[in-house]
Amino acid sequence: TLEVQVMAPPQLTPFPVVPVMVGDAAQLSCLASRGDTPLNLSWSYIAPRGQSPKPPPGLTVVPVSPVNSLLLIPSVSEIHRGMYRCDASNLAGHDTHLMELIVNVPPRWILEPTDKAFAQGSDAKVECKADGFPKPSVTWKRASGDSPGDYKDLKPNNPDIRVEDGTLLINNIQKTNEGYYLCEAVNGIGSGLSAVIMISVQAPPQFEIKLRNQTARVGEPTVLQCEAKGEKPIGILWNMDNKRLDPKNDISNRYTIREEILPNGVLSDLSIKSTERTDSALFTCVATNAFGSDDTSINMIVQEVPEAPYGLKVLDKSGRSVQLSWNAPYDGKSPIKKYLIQHKISKGTWQADQDTVLVPGSNTVAGVFNLRPATTYHLRIVAENEIGESDPSDTVTIITAEEAPSGPPTGVKVEAMDQNTLRVTWKPPEREEWNGEIQGYYVGYKLTSSDKPYLFETVEFSKEEGKERRDPRLLCRLQTHLLG
């Protein structure tokens, strides 16, 4: 008889591989659940892409039985990660089983971020790189205040601030971007990594206000201030109408410059001990640091009372009014609100007998009314602004025109002297009704029974105050008229 022995080929049993941490021990099993012995069991290593194909050190193969072999790794490191293949063969056949060893590695820094400083307006780039397995997720947050702590996610959909592959990118960085930032790298293995950095923006000096006006009253002290923000040290220079202002060269000793260092910049004070009209100028404060310069201007307006109006002249006059014109004076850097036309009779005083006519500040022609005829007046002009009144202008003297007397003679009496003669006497009008010098009187008379007009005779004032008139007619009536 012929005996035939049939051999069974090997069949390997899959062995689950549990992910391990770096430093842990690992064991891979290769077990042939079927197949005749003798069996040949062997191990091989398939490296991940980019890693050396050579088997990593620290591997030990332990034959457990004719059908079982163990691959031991006493202390796993990242280099042990990869595919391991177990091959089983006998005379009847061959079987292969692949096992992947997953080595979990907590995040570790490849490039840990540190404090950075950038010039204002530049594009900022801060790298934060970590590796591990699984690959860490790298995120950035920003502190909500001026000190570390209370970090919040960066605002989404902001084209100027973004994160690409762990790198923080800030386009056109400004002072508002300055602060504390947190970079975190996590992959679920361990507690993860975090780094807090300060991003500072090195800015040239900057003034919030480029031009402003400042007023002061002549003779009073004043202070001009400029505050520059930016990286220190900051140097401050003052110019007056584009000329360097140096208190050391100030003979009058009126100017003083003082500087105060602030947390975010410098404050400079230019003090003027006693302002003068010449201080009405454009003062420019120029700030400079290592990153650039900026300037701000202060239009200094020194205000005072106006100068006296000038060129006062008479355009026209009558018995009761006068028309005047004048030239507007220097307004003292404050608009003239009104003019005061002051007038008095020549014998009076400005303190006790003055009358005033108010004229809008935009006018330089005005009239004075309600004057008395044939009277000598003194007139002058005063200008007024917010600061006060000017000195009076030069005084002009006028004599108003005469007018007809505004009142009749008084105390008229008629006395018969004889059969042919009447004596007529009277007194002049009240003095304030003369309206000039009385030069004479008209004396009119006629018979009461006559329809004829009066006969008039002129009597000069300088000769006599009464007049005798002889007339052949015995019955007559006399009437007086005032000669203008």
**Domains along the chain with CATH numbers:** 11-105 (2.60.40.10), 112-202 (2.60.40.10), 214-303 (2.60.40.10), 310-399 (2.60.40.10), 405-483 (2.60.40.10)
> In Å, how far from its chain's centre is CA 159?
29
Report residue 462's pLDDT band, with 50, 70 and 90 as the boundaries: low
pLDDT at residue 470 tops 60: no
pLDDT at residue 472 tops 80: no
pLDDT at residue 427 tops 80: yes
pLDDT in tens, 100-129: 999 999 999 999 999 999 988 899 999 999
Report residue 434's pLDDT band, with 50, 70 and 90 as the boundaries: confident
Q: What angle do CA 305, 311, 316 make, to 5 degrees?
A: 125
Average per-residue pLDDT in the chain?
A: 89
Residues 6+ apart with CB under 8 A from 305: 332, 384, 385, 387, 388, 389, 390
Phi then psi dihedrals of residue 448, to 5 deg: -65, -25
Instruction: Specify the pLDDT at position 249.
Output: 82
Report residue 1's pLDDT band, with 50, 70 and 90 as the boundaries: low
pLDDT at residue 173 tops 90: yes
Instruction: Specify the pLDDT at position 336.
Output: 97
pLDDT in tens, 267-280: 999 999 999 999 99
Instruction: Specify the pLDDT at position 32.
Output: 94
pLDDT in tens, 208-250: 999 999 999 999 999 999 999 988 899 999 999 999 998 888 7
Question: Torsion-angle region of residue 472: left (phi > 0), alpha (psi -120 to 50) or beta?
Answer: alpha
Report residue 469's pLDDT band, with 50, 70 and 90 as the boundaries: very low
Tokens of 115: 């404090």
pLDDT at residue 413 tops 80: yes
Instruction: Specify the pLDDT at position 84.
Output: 94
Instruction: Specify the pLDDT at position 366.
Output: 96
Question: Torsion-angle region of residue 191: left (phi > 0), alpha (psi -120 to 50) or beta?
Answer: alpha
End-to-end CA distance of the chain: 188
pLDDT at residue 467 tops 50: no
Report residue 7's pLDDT band, with 50, 70 and 90 as the boundaries: confident
